[in-house]
């Protein structure tokens, strides 16, 4: 059964914010994984590891703030891709 399309402005804005934050969270997680791989392989200096770690912590904090401002939880950003499973 198909759900009726909800064209309420607040709902559209919230869904758009959710989509944008989902993309940003996906990129943040990919950057974090890449940083961990590079650190494990010794590709980063200690200063680079510190800077990347601090940057990722600040980005995570800001993502949580933005989610809270829009009534979302980080878990809300994990889109269900059907047979492929969850995005995050």
C-alpha distances (whole Å) from 65 to each of 7, 36, 59, 62 are 26, 24, 10, 5
Distance (Å, whole) CA 19 – CA 21: 5
pLDDT in tens, 34-88: 999 999 999 989 999 999 999 999 999 999 999 999 999 888 888 777 777 767 6
pTM confidence score: 0.73
pLDDT in tens, 10-28: 788 888 998 999 999 889 8
Sign, Cα dihedral of 20, 25, 27, 28:
positive
Tokens at residue 33, please?
């994984």
Domain ranges in the chain are: 9-75
Distance (Å, whole) CA 28 – CA 57: 10
Tokens at residue 79, please?
């889109």
């Amino acid at each position: 059964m198909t759900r009726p399309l909800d064209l309420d402005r607040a709902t559209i804005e919230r869904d758009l914010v959710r989509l944008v934050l989902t993309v940003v969270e996906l990129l943040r997680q990919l950057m974090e994984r890449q940083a961990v791989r590079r650190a494990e392989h010794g590709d980063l200096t200690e200063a680079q590891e510190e800077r990347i770690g601090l940057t990722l912590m600040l980005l995570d904090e800001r993502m949580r703030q933005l989610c809270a401002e829009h009534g979302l939880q980080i878990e809300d950003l994990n889109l269900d891709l059907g047979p492929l499973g969850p995005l995050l």
